[in-house]
Structure 1
Amino acid sequence: MAIEGLAASRVSTNGIELSVHRAGQGKPLILLHGFPQNHRCWEKVAPRLAEEFDVIVPDLRGYGDSDAPEGAAVYAKREMAKDIVGLMDALGLDRAHILGHDRGARVSYRLALDHPARVDRLGIIEIVPTGDFWAAWDADLALAAYHWTFLAQAAPMPERMILADGPGYIDFTLASWTHGKDLSVFSDAALESYRAQGADPARVAAMCNDYRAGATLDRRIDAESRASGDRIAAPLLFVWAEGGFPARTGDPLGVWRDWAADVRGCALANSGHFAMEEVPQAVLDAVLPHFREA
């Protein structure tokens, strides 16, 4: 179900096929979604971005209409970043801007660390790096981000529990992470696509495997990067919601300054976790100047 104005295709990359949506001209800008969503989370901002950029919006592996391989290791963000590098190769792109939200932002910063020559400018929405987020946990954050431990439990326990009422679980998750604690910010088309994922055993398994990788491989790889002194070379814009997860970690902008040489950022008022759907104009006001500077 493509966003209006974007053309849909399938692209072979890194041993799988990704569902990809594209529109616009100019410098390539790749948008990477998070959990429990897919490309539709960009529907309120992608058409405006396509007025100035060549906007490319894939479904990450395991989400939307992309392939959903089995196993947790294949959802390590290092592997998912290779999907995006392969996508760029298939499209003939040497470099691109990258903008990621939630799990897509984790793929984005790993892409910038592992493949610095492929990233012009980087945008991160609503996360701090995986290892830093785990390190920030206290009781309040553990209750708010319970899904990090729930989804990471061994298969098939979380899959079976979610599939008892997959669409209901998706609705609960979406509503509880918004500023207004309801579903009013999501379009009917977006909700239909998100709920469909919650009813699909292959997609539910993929989402759980995404978090299993986050709790193990991603955390370890982040620690290795820190120990090696790896730094993100691309200019980095960090946007977080006043009512989102990073805001609960203390100094989220300071966390990113430990990872990158050139960091700027801003907090978004009246938004929960799903900023692109809750406050799309504020997101555009933040990201457009950043990517225009290239």
Structure 2
Amino acid sequence: MFLSEPKTLTTSRGTFSYREGGSGAPVVMIHGWPESSYCWEHLGRHLKQGLRVIAPDLRGLGDSERTEGQEHYRKQELAKDVISMLDELGIEKFQLVGHDWGGIVAQEVALAIPDQIRKMVIMNIALINNLKGNMEVIEKVRSGSGKAYWYQHFQQAPGLAEAMIPGAEETWLRFFLQGWSNDIPEDSIAEYVRMYRIPGTPGAGANYYRAFADDAKRWGTLSDHVWKIPSLYIYGNKDRVIIPEYLNHIEDCFEEIRVEEVDAGHFLQEEKPEEVAGHMNGFFETD
């Protein structure tokens, strides 16, 4: 194992869990849906020496607390959770990674405390300041069937996830984990099934999508923001949901950005952990 078993941390915002591995310069890695901090386990084994991975479990997923109320799952609020954990751990300067919803939370962290972040890596998710590119995505989706996004509407429906997912967790998760990527390790799938069987998880996971309308209103005000943090975007080119149009105008969103394409699906860090880690190794600082 590269990462530790989940450790518990209580802050002013609640009780959360996290994993860590390695030693050296802190790298905070934030997972997305429907995963947990375990999603960095296989990638972590390929990271170069001199990096200390700190991987939080976001609220409602992994082994962190399940909190009722979709307002707790606004991505700005989830970023505050992560920051409270880092404060409790005494982490001041760090490099930052986020995948899927974790990539959104990472961007919210970077908005809140930009001076503490040395470098940032975003993987297979929208950029919250790329209003022009994101509108082009919406136009393309509307021009087609939009069927790839059914799961978002399903989870936004009040009470539906809570009523229909319990007892069918493995079927639910395998649909996404194996349908959106190839060769997801079985130990990872087993960990996410275990997590999703914790009472309250289907509703908490759905709240990530129920809070989306509030999130979008906030992001609509960020079109003039330009990231000053040196950044890397790693893109799995077979993703069915985060389509290539999300990268349109990406160069306008950063002062310094490098884009690396990986022949993989959505969960690229688990499908191609060595290749993705290689891109990170060439980007991260260890001193």
**TM-score (normalizing by structure 1):** 0.88
1:284 Cα offset (Å): 1.1
Q: Aligned-pair distance for 1:23?
A: 2.1
Contact conserved, 1:22 with 1:55, CA < 8 A, in 2? yes
46-55 or 108-117: which moved more?
46-55
Q: How many residues align?
A: 281
**Partners in 2 of 1:11 and 1:54 — Cα distance?**
18
2:228 paired with 1:225: no
Residue pairs, 1:130-209, within 5 angstroms: 132=134, 134=138, 136-138=140-142, 140=144, 142-153=146-157, 155-163=158-166, 165-178=168-181, 180=182, 184-187=183-186, 189-209=187-207
- Look up the match of 1:282: 275
Query: What SS does the corresponding residue of 1:31 show, helix, strand or coil?
Result: strand
Match of 1:268 in 2: 262
Superposition map of 1:1-294 within 5 A = 3-6=1-4, 8-49=6-47, 51-129=49-127, 132=134, 134=138, 136-138=140-142, 140=144, 142-153=146-157, 155-163=158-166, 165-178=168-181, 180=182, 184-187=183-186, 189-214=187-212, 216-226=213-223, 229-245=224-240, 248-250=243-245, 252-269=246-263, 271-292=264-285
When structure 1 is superposed on structure 2, of 58-67 and 46-55 the one drifting more is: 46-55
Moved more, 71-80 or 86-95: 86-95
Give me the whole-angstrom Cα distance separating, in 2, the residues matched to 1:141 and 1:34: 25
Counterpart CA distance in 2 for 1:141 and 1:202 is 32
Q: Decide whether the 8 Å contact of 1:167 with 1:195 is kept in 2.
A: yes
Q: CA RMSD in A?
A: 2.2
What is the CA–CA distance in structure 2 between the aligned matches of 1:224 and 1:109, rounded to whole Å? 14
- Could you tell me which runs of 5 or more consecutive residues in structure 1 were left unpaired when the two chains were aligned: none
Structure 1 position 224, deviation (Å) = 1.6
Provide the C-alpha distance between the structure 1 equivalents of 2:8 and 2:197, rounded to a whole number of angstroms.
23
**Compared CA separation, residues 177 and 26, structure 1 to 2 (3 A):** same
Structure 2 residue runs of 5 or longer lacking an equivalent are: none
Alpha-carbon deviation of 1:248? Answer: 2.3
* Residues 232-262 of structure 1: per-residue CA shift (max 9 Å, x gap): 2211110111101466242x33343232221
Tell me if the contact between 2:3 and 2:41 (Cα under 8 Å) persists in the aligned partners: no
What amino acid sits opposite 1:244 in the alignment? D
TM-score (norm 2): 0.90
Quote how far apart the aligned CAs of 1:10 are.
Answer: 1.2
Query: Matches of 1:143 and 1:5 in 2, distance apart?
Result: 36
Checking the alignment, whether the CA contact within 8 Å between 2:177 and 2:184 is kept in structure 1 is no
Q: CA deviation at 1:106?
A: 0.8
- The separation in 2 between residues aligned to 1:290 and 1:203, in whole angstroms, is 35
* Deviation (angstroms), 1:161: 2.2
C-alpha change, 1:50 and 1:5, in structure 2 (3 Å) is farther
| Identity over aligned pairs, percent | 26
Q: Which deviates more from structure 2 when the two are superposed, residues 16-25 or residues 252-261?
A: 252-261
CA distance in 1 between partners of 2:48 and 2:281 (Å)? 11
Q: Secondary structure at the match of 1:137?
A: helix
User: Any conservation in 1 of the 2:46–2:273 contact (CA below 8 Å)?
Assistant: no
Q: Could you list the per-position Cα deviations for residues 65-94 of structure 1 after superposition, in whole angstroms to 9, with x for gaps in the alignment?
A: 111111111111101111111111111111
Report how far residue 231 of structure 1 moved: 2.3
